[in-house]
Structure 1
Amino acid sequence: LWDPITTARTGRTLGIISDARYRFERGVDPEFMVPGVELATKLVLDFCGGTPTETEVVGYAGHAPKIVSFPLSEVKRLTG
């Protein structure tokens, strides 16, 4: 996938200003790839019609889930 730091650095070096650079230098959620393709497919079908093929996932480029320690006592303290 696109490395946010490399994308930002290269964009600055080359003077590229684009929506894609803006999105990719902030990171792309790899878990949204399949839902994103399915949403885009639905939009194309809704507007243009047609017959979709099956989505095929090859490999996995996602990240391991991060575990965040958050004591329940903090919920009350932070939310009142």
Structure 2
Amino acid sequence: MLIGSIAELFFWFVWEFLLSFILYTTGAIVLRLITFGRVRKPLYFPSLFSNEKQLAKNDFFSAYVSGFFFYLILLALAIWLG
């Protein structure tokens, strides 16, 4: 029981600080490149990212999803070519 709680806490920590920042940043860059600069999501430093994410929760969703699908397509391409 204790090990499960520690594992869940560790997963939450990794997701909240590393993966969400990476997915958002990648998604913001992909959106900017695909739309030729029309959609401009702000890029944040890791120290400011957590605070800004809590202030504008709905604004972050499209960048998250774009970043997730970018890495999903990249993984599928690597599997298909490999």
Q: Which has the larger radius of gyration?
A: 1
Greater RCO, CA 8 A, separation 6+? 2
The two structures have a TM-score, normalised by structure 2, of: 0.29
Q: Normalized against structure 1, the TM-score is what? A: 0.30
